[in-house]
Amino acid sequence: MEHTHYITSDVLSIEQIQQIISQNFKLALSEEAKINIQKCREYLDDKMQSNENPIYGINTGFGSLCNVKISNENLSQLQENLVKSHACGTGDYVPQEIVKLMLLLKVQSLSYGYSGVQLLTVERLVDFFNNDILPVVYEQGSLGASGDLAPLAHLCLPLLGEGEFWQKGRKVNAKEVLKQFGWEPIVLQSKEGLALLNGTQFMSAYGVHILIKALKFSWLADLIAAISLEGFDGRKEPFNELIHYIRPHKGQIVTAKRILEFLEGSEIIEREKIQVQDPYAFRCIPQVHGASKDALDYARKIFKTEVNSVTDNPNIFIDSDVIISGGNFHGQPLALALDFLGIALAELGSISERRTYQLISGLRGLPAFLVENPGLNSGFMIPQYTAASIASQNKQLATPASVDSIVSSNGQEDHVSMGANAATKCLRIMNNLERILAIELMNASQAIAFRKPLKSSEFIETFLKSYRTEVPLVKEDRILHYDIENSVTFLNSFQLDESIFE
């Protein structure tokens, strides 16, 4: 059954975006959105007929060329030139799932009726989304300040019959695809190119994509930590709610409660312990994981606001009869949020690697490197090296991008957010975290096997039984690369309900 999401002025939530993407919803403009877009375009056309004064980006040049007036007969050429000249992206391709998000968020922003675009232009972007023909966009080129200029230029080139699409897994010339669908290239009207290129949809799409994954892997980090605690024969007292209610950070309370729920009914956690305390990587799970949860909550609020905002420039206010040039394209809120999110995810990886290290250290009745006959077998010695390497790389990637700025456009754009760099770095951190947690799961599931015949909770035992169908117990040395890859695949395919968004 085909689902449709109607673009309206209602608040679009992260949960809705996840549903639209994961369930392959089609998009459609509501009547409200169509009227908003058309009224704004008509107002701008009337204004251009009656007003000869320079209005930035509409009948002037761009950036430091803002004082160069352009004649009315050249306004369409001006906008086309803008899109072509700004398509200076390079580097790796933006993942196609993020390009699809960029299309959704650009349509959402243009639908409010403050941007002056043609209805046909927005409908064509909807067509791209619905037919799963995704413009080829490159990672590098945006300063995250005058909007995500270069990436958005590549996103919008195909409107003109320029650039390339991804279609059924291969790159196809945009002209061929337009011909295939019987579409004529869009003739951009005044202001349209600027409306398409100014905006934060590159940073926003990365942020939303990472957030959706991060919410899932935050939950999985708690579960894998609980399995490690069982494998390490750790204590449950540090998760007692009494401790957390006297330091009531939300994420800390949620983490402690969740860990105890995972462990409910476990024979291992309930048995008498010899050790009085556990190392911080176990004892401080609520405090560390909880702080990362609170950072995710902060980033979520920022991105929810951003995806429901108008971020191009200038903006057209029909009721006030005014066109205002400002700076809503500046990515500073997103740059800070993405840097904070990256740090939070890096910390989940950092403490995960420490739990892995403790598990292979031959402590608490566990064999060295979690394998029988250590010496003849190296067991889980080297996966910890791999996790340490990745965790260290994450620390380097977590250095904030938002504290940097380079003067651009001949001094007109003299402070930039570098949010696009924050976005691409944050995605690498997220992908690295998947691998670190996959390695911890390998170790934790191996360690807990040495606690038999004692059993963990029914929930954990069921989870591990499912995992063992993909990654068998290690009894003697084998190529563990495949186990790591299969563990990553297992975690990515693991389905969670909507409660992770609560």
Residue finishing a domain among 145, 180, 199: 199
C-alpha closest to that of 217 among 335, 22, 97, 352: 352
Residues 243, 179 share a domain: no
Residues 271 and 393 in one domain: yes
Instruction: Say if strands 4-7 and 26-29 run parallel, antiparallel, or are unpaired.
Output: parallel
Residue 144, both tokens? 């995250």
Among 199, 215, 246, where does a domain finish?
Answer: 199
> For residues 106 and 117, what is the distance between their CA atoms, to the nearest angstrom?
12
Task: Say if residue 245 is in the same domain as residue 333.
Answer: yes
As a whole number of angstroms, the distance between CA 225 and CA 263 comes to: 11
User: Is 141 in the same domain as 215?
Assistant: no
Q: Are residues 486 and 367 in the same domain?
A: yes
DSSP 186: P
Of 165, 199, 233, the domain-final residue: 199
pLDDT tens column, 468-495: 999 999 999 999 999 999 999 999 999 8
Domain residue limits at 454 = 206-501
**Catalytic positions:** 56
Q: Render pLDDT for 354-413 as a digit per residue (tens, 0 to 9).
A: 999 999 999 999 999 999 888 888 999 999 999 999 999 999 999 999 999 888 887 778
CA 241 to chain centre: 32
Mean pLDDT over the full length of the chain: 94
pLDDT at 304: 97
Predicted local distance difference test score (pLDDT) of residue 1: 65
- 272 burial class (0-12, 13-18, 19+ CB within 10 angstroms)? exposed
Residue 366's Cβ-count burial label (10 Å; 0-12, 13-18, 19+) is: buried
pTM of the model: 0.96
398 and 388 Cβ atoms separated by less than 8 Å: no
Give, in degrees to the nearest 5, the angle at Cα 300 between 297 and 305: 135
Same domain, 217 and 341: yes
> How many domains does the structure of the chain reveal?
2
For 98-121, the pLDDT digits (tens) are: 999 999 999 999 999 999 999 999
Q: Same domain, yes or no, for 23 and 113?
A: yes
Contacts of 164 (CB under 8 A, 6+ apart): 135, 136, 158, 171, 172, 173, 174
So what's the pLDDT on residue 61? 66
